[in-house]
A and B are shown apart, each in its own frame.
Chain A
């Protein structure tokens, strides 16, 4: 298995532009997570899905952020409009149905820079 796939790996954009991050989870995994990592705030959970349904989006910072999972093999995280404070590394992770011992497998991340 190729693992969790994220694209793009790096994104540089200007303030006010729309940014779309993409994720392909590991086949057969029912849970998908979006995280944001910064030096100041560490690793923050933004939203997670179970069977394509959003379960908890309380970590989404504001209305500028939205996430979708149209099918079991694809998810997007969109920021519109982007701001410099959104600069961070965004990780997608997936896991099997949660039984307390299941591992979350992280993708390589997308490094976003908003100028």
Chain B
């Protein structure tokens, strides 16, 4: 299966709270898991990415948690800010291939 399942579809968080978005995949051959951020009217842009040899990667307020045995990974946004309001896509790929398989996206709204 090439599918990447993402949840929730939408998320509302208060300023300062933690936003959590989850993704699950089927293909155990996937070995690269990026998250993309998309603002209205813009193209998606890489936010943070992880490879399956580590269980966690942190960049500022953004953290990816990776569970290889469960075939799941998640994005945590700490101290969420109104400027984080955007649509977030998880994705997966194999290094031997050039394409990314994207999840359906999560629209995050951070309320002031």
Taking beta carbons and an 8 Å cutoff, which residues of A are in contact with B? Answer: 4, 31, 33, 42-43, 45, 48, 50, 55-56, 91, 93, 95, 98-101, 103-109
Contact of A98 among B41, B42, B98 (CB under 8 A): B98
Residues of A within 8 A of B99 (CB): 33, 45, 48, 56
Q: Is the interface of B mostly helix, strand, loop or mixed?
A: loop
Given contact pairs A43-B44, A99-B95, A104 touches B31 in the complex (Cβ within 8 A): no
Contact assessment for B98 and A50 in the assembled complex, using a CB-CB cutoff below 8 Å: yes
Contact assessment for A43 and B105 in the assembled complex, using a CB-CB cutoff below 8 Å: yes
**Does any Cβ of A come within 8 Å of B100's Cβ?**
yes
Residue of B with least CB distance to A97? B98
Tell me, in angstroms, the Cα distance from A8 to B13 when the chains sit together.
36
Residue of B with least CB distance to A44? B102
Contact assessment for A100 and B45 in the assembled complex, using a CB-CB cutoff below 8 Å: no
CB distance from A17 to the nearest CB of B (A): 25
Residues of B within 8 A of A95 (CB): 98
CB distance from A76 to the nearest CB of B (A): 18
Residues of A within 8 A of B58 (CB): none
Interface size on B, residues (CB 8 A): 23
Tell me, in angstroms, the Cα distance from A107 to B42 when the chains sit together.
8
Residue of A with least CB distance to B51? A100
Contact assessment for B31 and A45 in the assembled complex, using a CB-CB cutoff below 8 Å: no
Contact assessment for A101 and B43 in the assembled complex, using a CB-CB cutoff below 8 Å: no
CB distance from A16 to the nearest CB of B (A): 28
Contact assessment for A98 and B95 in the assembled complex, using a CB-CB cutoff below 8 Å: yes
CB distance from B64 to the nearest CB of A (A): 14
**Does any Cβ of A come within 8 Å of B89's Cβ?**
yes
Residues of A within 8 A of B51 (CB): 100-101
Residues of B within 8 A of A48 (CB): 98-99
